[in-house]
Amino acid sequence: MDLALHLLRHGFVRERQLAEALAIRQSEKVPFRLIAVELGYLTPKQVCEVLIYRSQRPMRFGEAARALGYLDEAAVETILAEQRARLPKLGDILVRMGAIDPRTLAVELGRPDTPTE
């Protein structure tokens, strides 16, 4: 988010463009449960059981899976790290949208005072 604020403050993108890019990023986020199955931590049946459990309690999927004994803290952290790694970079989304030129983004990312994400 720091990169986004930097680009906004320095006039490279508008607030509306940033909001749209953040919405796109959120929509492209791979769900925790899918990654958990893909990495072999959960079975599809366990995912269904966690979803049922969650329908009765307001909690995150990983917390519910831990409460049911399907995942430990290390597994949750591994899955979350993979989820973060798969998240598209905000700068890439802004370029894809045409909100910022790829060269301008590269120049800004190359500056020592510019946050990378």
Q: How buried is residue 61: exposed, middle or buried, by Cβ count under 10 Å (0-12/13-18/19+)? A: buried
pLDDT tens per residue across span 43-70: 999 999 999 999 999 999 999 999 999 9
Tokens found for residue 20: 């749209």
The pTM for the full model equals 0.78
- How does residue 6 score in pLDDT terms, banded at 50, 70 and 90? confident
Residue 61, helix vs strand vs coil: helix
Intra-chain end-to-end CA distance of the chain, in Å:
6
What distance in Å separates the CA atoms of residue 107 and residue 114, rounded to the nearest whole number? 10
Show Cβ contacts of residue 48 under 8 Å, excluding neighbours closer than 6 positions.
Answer: none
* pLDDT digit string, tens, across residues 81-102: 999 999 999 999 999 999 999 9
